Structure 1
Amino acid sequence: MQKTALVTGASAGIGEATVKRLLQDGYKVFAAARRLDRMAPLAHLGAELIDLDLTDDSSILAAIETIRAATGRLDLLVNNAGYGSYGAIEDVPMEEARRQMEVNVFGLARLCQLATPLMRAQQSGTIVNVTSIGGKFGEPFGGWYHATKFAVEGLSDCLRMELRPFGIRVVVIEPGAIRTEWAGIAHQSLVERSGGSSAYAPWARKYAALLGNADAMSFASPPEVVANTIARAAAARRPRIRYGTGGGAKVFLFLAHWLPDRWKDALMWRMSQSGKVEA
């Protein structure tokens, strides 16, 4: 029987690469995102496209119902959709903070809720939650983003224990520096919110410069590295609970585990200020 997968955030980056890899592995893949036009090449490869807005519960319900009606099963849910909204915590409007939580946490959690009955009926399935190395430590100007990733780490740990009796596995993927649209979005939001007249502007502008050059960093990895890790976890008979992958992830996760908090603070601040100030 052909296995079925749902991949969110499939219009670019890690999500797009994951759809392609799972198609190669023989899955029937439902690729979900708001930007249907960006996913047209995936449709040509054989993916089924789903218009999904993680801030709209009716959209999430419709996505799962589409899969249930088409296949009656779901073997793999890859919760990849998310974005980084940056800016000093003082500067980010609460409306934007709530949206960041809605997309990165609550939308993901709602998909887990709706996918679970399908997987429980099969007595099998894998939920892959893509977090970040940023789910293990903080950095200046990324407070709301890191809060969402810390939340998904904790949510995944609880979900993993709850679903174990039903044969459903929960895996966390923690990417490092990956060459995607993420850094550009984080850069733009940081400049707009804290790079102008903000009290934090001198430091925010330095970090924005670093984010703006993130894709050029020698240790940044292509999104296919993460896609391959997801596929490997899905295929494993007994997958690991967490996979650090790509772009210095293992080094950062090691440091996050062993360094004292004050040392981590000093390291992250120093790194954030290593960029050149933009004109």
Structure 2
Amino acid sequence: MANVVIITGISSGMGRAAALYFKKQGFEVYGGARRVERLVDLQEQGIHTQKLDVTDKLSVRGLVDHVISEEGHIDVLINNAGYGEYGPLEEVPIENAKRQFDVNLFAVDQITQLVLPFMRHQGSGRIVNISSIAGDIYSPLGGWYHATKAGLNMWSDVLDSEVHRFGIRSVVVQPGLTKSEWSTIALNNARKNLLDDSPYSDLVDKLEDMFGKINTGATSEELAKVFYQAATDVRPKRRYYHSIVDHGMVVIARSMPNTYRAVLNRLMK
């Protein structure tokens, strides 16, 4: 009997690469995204796809029910769907900030609540939450995104402390900047969230330049392997990183906040 994984947000980037990699490793892969036109070739390669809005409980329940009806069990849930709602904290509409939490955090809890009873019944399971090093580090214009990822990290740790006794583990993958659409979307959102004659407009160009300076060069395919390790390690770690650079940035930000701020100021010049 093949292992079964659900992956959210598989239309592009890390989610798409993970769907293909898990399939290659023999998993039955189920997943979805809002842009169904980008799922056609995944379906042709044997991945079970459907339209999915992670903020819609009926849509999420439909995916989970479909997996259970076909497979009878769920071994791994990878909470990958997310985006960056960038912009100055003074100017980002509160509705946009709430949407960021809905997608990046509350939707994670929603699908996990639906999956956990099945994992608990079978006595095993792995919840892999795709966070970011941005859950520990920060930069201008990313306030709401950083808040959601920091919240996701803590949420995952609390969940792990609650479900460990049932044979279930909740772990976090923290990618750095990658070769994907993520930074482009985040920067576009930052520009959209600027008011006319905003005093923060220069920060967008500086942030774009900084992203280029600290890009670790990780591809989606490389991160898919990190997802797989987090999902299959016999003795899982609480945190997974692609590179020592990503991990090092987190260590510096957490243990030497003044040093981190000095480096950030230098990069933003």
User: Above 0.5 in TM-score?
Assistant: yes
- Structure 1 CA distance for aligned equivalents of residues 132 and 249 of structure 2: 11
Partner Cα separation in structure 2 for residue 246 and residue 195 of structure 1: 37
Tell me the equivalent position of 1:267: 263
Following superposition, the deviation at residue 44 of structure 1 comes to: 1.2
SS at match of 2:203: helix
**Equivalent residues of 1:120, 1:167 under 8 A apart:** yes
**Structure 1 counterpart of 2:93:** 93
Pairwise CA distance, 1:50: 2.1
Instruction: Output the CA distance in 1 between the equivalents of 2:89 and 2:244.
Output: 26
Amino acid at match of 1:248: V
The correspondence for 2:224, drawn from 206, 224, 227, is: 227
The AA in structure 2 aligned to 1:36 is V
**Aligned residues of 1:220 and 1:246 also touching (Cα < 8 A):** no
Instruction: Decide whether the 8 Å contact of 2:218 with 2:242 is kept in 1.
Output: no
Deviation track 1:210-259 (CA, whole Å, cap 9, x = no partner) reads 44x57xx7632101111101112222111111111149312212312331
Contact 1:28 1:47 in 2 (8 A): yes
> The residue matched to 1:264 in structure 2 has which SS?
helix
Query: Which whole-Å CA distance do the structure 1 matches of 2:28 and 2:262 have between them?
Result: 46
Find the counterpart in structure 2 of residue 64 from structure 1. Answer: 64
CA contact (8 A) 2:137 2:249 kept: no
Letter in 2 for 1:262: N
Alpha-carbon distance, 1:183 to partner: 0.5
Spell out, residue by residue over 1:125-156, the C-alpha distance to the aligned partner (whole angstroms, 9 max, x if none).
10000000001122110000000000000000
1:12 — aligned with what? 12
Greater shift after overlay, 231-240 or 94-103?
Answer: 231-240
Deviation at 1:194, TM superposition (A): 2.8
**Which letter does structure 2 place at the counterpart of 1:267?**
V
- Between the aligned residues of both structures, percent identity stands at 35
Shift of 1:189: 1.1
Task: Please give the per-residue CA displacement for 1:154-203, whole angstroms capped at 9, x wherever unaligned.
Answer: 00000001001110011110001211110000111112223851121223
- The gaps in structure 1 that reach 5 residues or longer are 275-279
Alignment length (residue pairs) = 269
1:134-213 alignment, distance < 5 Å: 134-194=134-194, 197-211=197-211, 213=212
Q: Is the 8 A contact 1:60 1:111 kept in 2?
A: yes
In structure 2, runs of 5+ residues without a counterpart are none
Instruction: Indicate whether 1:244 and 2:245 are aligned.
Output: no
8 Å contact from structure 2 (residues 91, 195) kept in 1: no
What is the one-letter code of the residue matched to 1:110? Q
Residue 142 of structure 1 aligns to which amino acid in structure 2?
G
